[in-house]
A and B are shown apart, each in its own frame.
Chain A
Amino acid sequence: MFSRYDFIIWIVIVSLAIGGIYYHQNLVSMGENLVEISVNGQEYEVIPLTDSNGNLRREIEGVNGLTVVEIRDQRVRVISSACPDKLCIHSGWIDRPGQMLVCLPNRVVVKIVSDEQQDIDFFTN
């Protein structure tokens, strides 16, 4: 009842479908890490972490003044900020998804996000 053309057509359809699903899933899970910068809860800018090979700097206008963020070698840090305690600067570099730098007085949050399931979901204080 079935000829070899049947098999060819069926195999082409199924392999196209499975290939497409696999390709798409790969596309999604290849998702790179993003640096998400927000001011006062509003999204300010999203920069791929891999963009940083050329030493990127961003000046962010916060509530009290400027917060300067540096992205270099797949890491992020705050180098200066208009806040009294400088806690965000003392936090140093962050490089893993889920980590964040927070300048509370200046209302600036710098967070590394990823679509991928991470080993650690949260860090305690």
Chain B
Amino acid sequence: MTFKKAAELLAVVIILGIIIFTILNIVNQESIQKYSKTELLLDTVFDITVFTEDEAEGNRLLREAFNEVRALEKTFSRFVSGSEVDEINQNAGEGSVEVRSDMLKVIKSGIYFGEITEGSFDITIAPLMELWGFGTGKQRVPSQEEIEEILPLVDYREIQLDEQRFTVYLPQEEMSLDLGGIAKGYIVDRIVQYLESQNVEIASVNAGGDIRVIGTREDGTPWRIGIRNPRNSNGQDIIAVIPIVDQAVVTSGDYERFFTSDGKRYHHILDPHNGFPAAKVISVTIVAEECITADALSTAVFVLGPRKGMELVESLSGVEGLIIDNQEKLHVSSGLQDIIEIR
């Protein structure tokens, strides 16, 4: 066999190899499948979607992820008796309670977000929420006196945290923690961390609107998040679309939970400073790297209002926001302006 023929053969082999490789690649890409599961957890609809090649692997990831959610729910829910939150609240004014590192981290972030928002986000808001009846079902408008009596109990700075001994103490008996505005985001982050540790490259976690995604969509384009029109009751009319990659989005709106009394609407986002529902904006959407940040800031910015809220958003790196004020005017942060799609 001559050298020329050998070279010819080699060329043919290489070309065919490339063709086969390409075909195998196409087939492999097609074999990435979407596996998704929805469960009712954390008082909301919890939806996890992963993209994997293997069905057994997809189902395993979903199962493990939901087990994790259920375990974390037990720690954080205010209404599950025997949960760590419940224990801290029961022992308020009496003694410190030893907690798991998850709880310590969440309370620490809660205090941090209290600090950077000057108390507009406060994890000790539970007594105030209870006074208005949010969460218990018997909603009513409390009197000014009642509110003034309760307000001193709402102060995140009073929480005593011992990071060496993993203990938490609420110094006043009537104080109590409500981690509802932050725990959901934390749990979403934990699930995302779990999926990332399992080398999942495309996934999404949606805990009733607390959304965080891993990577891009299957086709390589950003995930598209529809922001609901806060003043259209027919549900799923959207006012804007925000594209995200490896980020979290949370929206707080005054339409989520509210009640009407004497013809006036009262919603559940209460201003810890004066004890009444915050009225300057009607919807806040925060985009951040972590869901816990988006979760806490969406509430805080809602309370702070459009001007101070946007200042806060712009001052934080990796955080963007869309604020719809009570005149239904849209305020968009600088990093979102070029990519947001207003409808």
Kindly report which residue of chain B lies nearest to residue A28, judged by CB atoms: B30
Contact in complex: A120, B209 (CB < 8 Å): no
A90: chain B residues at CB < 8 Å are 233
A125 and B40 contact, CB distance less than 8 A: no
- CB pair B251 A122 closer than 8 Å: no
Residues of B near A94 (CB, < 8 A) are 235-236
B256 in the interface (beta carbon within 8 A): yes
Q: What 1/0 flags go to A72-110 for Cβ under 8 Å of B? A: 000000000000100000111110100110101001010
In the complex, B218 has a CB within 8 A of chain A: yes
Nearest residue in B to A91 (C-beta to C-beta)?
Answer: B235
The interface stretch among B75-83, B112-120, B222-230 is: B222-230
CA gap between A119 and B243 in the complex, in Å = 11
Q: Are A124 and B228 in contact (CB under 8 A)?
A: yes
**B238 to A120, Cβ gap below 8 A?**
yes
Which residue in chain A gives the minimum CB-CB distance to B253?
A125
Q: Mark A19-44, 1 if CB is under 8 A from B, else 0.
A: 00000000000000000001011000
**A109 and B38 within 8 A (CB):** yes
Distance A91 CA – B39 CA, assembled complex (angstroms)? 19
B residues 251-281 near A (Cβ < 8 Å) are: 251-253, 256
**Which of A104, A117, A123 is most buried by chain B, counting CB atoms within 10 A of its CB?**
A123
| Contact present for A122 and B234 (CB under 8 Å) | no
Scoring A38, A94, A117, A120 by chain B CB atoms within 10 A of each residue's CB, the highest score goes to A120
- CB-nearest residue of chain A relative to B66? A41
Q: How close is A40's CB to chain B, nearest CB, in angstroms?
A: 7
Please give me the residue from chain B that is nearest to A63 by CB atom. Answer: B40
| Majority secondary structure, A binding face | loop
CA gap between A5 and B44 in the complex, in Å: 65
| B236–A123 CB distance below 8 A | yes
User: In the assembled complex, which residues on chain B have CB atoms less than 8 Å from the CB atom of A40?
Assistant: 40
Describe B's contact surface by its main secondary structure: strand
In the complex, what distance in Å separates the CA atom of A90 from the CA atom of B213? 29
For A120, give its contact among B213, B219, B241 (CB under 8 Å). B241
Q: Is B52 part of the contact surface with A, judged by Cβ < 8 Å? A: no
- Inside 8 A of B137's CB, which chain A residues have their CB? 84
A84 to B44, CA, bound (A): 16
Partner among A96, A102, A115, A119 whose Cβ is within 8 Å of the Cβ of B45: A102
Report whether A123 and B228 are in contact in the complex, using a CB–CB cutoff of 8 Å: yes
Counting CB contacts under 8 A, is B293 at the interface?
Answer: no
Inter-chain contact A123/B218, CB cutoff 8 Å: no
CB pair B228 A117 closer than 8 Å: no
| Docked CA distance A94–B249 (Å) | 23
- Say yes or no: B250 contacts A41, CB within 8 Å: no
B38-51 vs A, CB cutoff 8 Å, 1 = contact: the mask equals 11100111000000
CB atoms of B211 and A122 under 8 A apart: yes
| B215 within 8 Å of A (CB atoms) | no
- Residue B74 lies at the interface, judged by CB distance under 8 Å to chain A: no
Q: A102-B45, A125-B209 are in contact. Are A92 and B226 (CB under 8 A)?
A: no
In the complex, chain A residues whose CB is within 8 Å of the CB of B224? 119-121
Q: Which residue of B lies closest to A84 (CB)?
A: B137
B45 nearest CB across to chain A (Å): 5
Do B217 and A122 have beta carbons less than 8 Å apart? no
Check B236–A109 contact: CB distance below 8 A: no
Asked if B124 is an interface residue, CB under 8 A from chain A, the answer is: no
Known: A40-B40, A100-B45, A104-B43. A122 touches B236 (CB 8 A): no
Extra contacts, 7 of them, besides A122-B204, A125-B251 (Cβ < 8 A), are A96-B236, A99-B235, A107-B40, A115-B34, A123-B238, A125-B208, A125-B252
Show 27 A/B contacts (Cβ-Cβ < 8 Å), sorted by A.
Answer: A41-B39, A90-B233, A91-B235, A93-B235, A96-B236, A99-B235, A100-B45, A104-B43, A109-B40, A109-B45, A111-B38, A115-B34, A117-B218, A117-B219, A120-B241, A121-B213, A122-B223, A122-B226, A123-B226, A123-B236, A123-B238, A124-B209, A124-B211, A124-B226, A124-B227, A125-B209, A125-B253
